[in-house]
Amino acid sequence: MNILQTFNKIDKLTIEARNYFRKNFNKSQKEFENIFSFCFIVIESISKFYTPNEWEDSQQGNALGILIQCLETILAMYYLTESGFWDNALILKRNYSELLSVAIAIGYDKKCYVDWKNNRDCFNGFTKIKNRIEKSNDIPEIDKKLLVILKKYWNESSQKYSHSISINSIRTLLKSGKFEFEPKIAKPFFQQKRLRTFRNMVLNVLSIILGIFKYGKVTESRKKEFPEALNIIKQSNIYFNNTEWKQQTTV
């Protein structure tokens, strides 16, 4: 039976996996980088909607904080993936789904915000949050449609990867007389699909940010304060209407 790798050997393999990833996936990585950076351009613009005092511990401030945490979660998934821990990265799909569903609920619906703020039972778990969103009359139907993909992400992470209790989820079982241990370098086609998933996850966050804050309507009524708004709306529409992205497979 082979002994598991030492930390130094694992660290070396992780660096090799990361270097291989960055060398071979420039186009998909650039797409992800561009849209991720664009989200923060939008957030910087939205930060002018209210004064610092108005943002603090408000419905809007808490919703935006959760959306930023969604972006942090995607970034963590990205770094795990590029370092070879691509199965482990899927665990965070659960966190992403829960965070984005909470942001949708409290960002649009004042009653949901009060329930969330007071730790009420309707916010105790993804399924209950999903049901709360579906029953809300204040949340646009187009944003409720995101629940389909969020449920898919949550189920994938919860059932197979998050708790690691089923035999199919244990990757370090003895095989051919030795234990297999992450990190691993995935095949290029798989990595491309994973990057597209991350890109689409960021697009979902961007869509909710623009919707919750009614970006187009607010900036239209305050044109002089938001000279950047036209370019932001134009670029957002380019991202949302990219037919090539809609046809690509993800994982």
| pLDDT at residue 163, as a whole number | 52
What distance in Å separates the CA atoms of residue 210 and residue 83, rounded to the nearest whole number?
32
Please name the helix (run of DSSP H) or strand (run of DSSP E) that holds residue 160, with its range, or none.
Answer: none
| pLDDT at residue 197, as a whole number | 92
Half-sphere exposure of 66 (CA within 13 A, CB side): 25
Look-up: residue for tokens 């691509």?
86
Overall pTM > 0.85: yes
| pLDDT at residue 233, as a whole number | 97
Q: Which residues are within 8 A (CB) of 70 and not within 5 positions of it... i.e. 6 or more apart?
A: 96, 99, 100, 103, 201, 205
The pLDDT averaged over each successive group of 10 residues in the chain (251 residues) is 68 85 79 95 97 95 97 95 84 93 98 96 93 96 96 80 56 63 70 89 97 97 97 97 86 70
Please name the helix (run of DSSP H) or strand (run of DSSP E) that holds residue 123, with its range, or none.
Answer: none
**For residue 62, how far is the Cα from the chain centroid?**
17
| pLDDT at residue 250, as a whole number | 79
Q: Please, are residues 242 and 134 in contact by the beta-carbon 8 Å criterion?
A: no
DSSP 162: I
| pLDDT at residue 1, as a whole number | 41
What distance in Å separates the CA atoms of residue 18 and residue 29, rounded to the nearest whole number?
12
What distance in Å separates the CA atoms of residue 114 and residue 98, rounded to the nearest whole number?
17
| pLDDT at residue 167, as a whole number | 58
- DSSP 3-state assignment of 109? coil
Phi, psi of 187 (to 5 degrees): -65, 150
| pLDDT at residue 171, as a whole number | 61
Q: Please, are residues 210 and 105 in contact by the beta-carbon 8 Å criterion?
A: no
What distance in Å separates the CA atoms of residue 200 and residue 215, rounded to the nearest whole number?
20
Q: Which two three-digit tokens encode residue 246?
A: 């809609």
Q: Report in angstroms the alpha-carbon separations of 56 from 5, 129, 181, 238.
A: 48, 24, 45, 33
Q: Which two three-digit tokens encode residue 53?
A: 């005092």
What distance in Å separates the CA atoms of residue 81 and residue 136, rounded to the nearest whole number?
36
Q: Please, are residues 77 and 32 in contact by the beta-carbon 8 Å criterion?
A: no
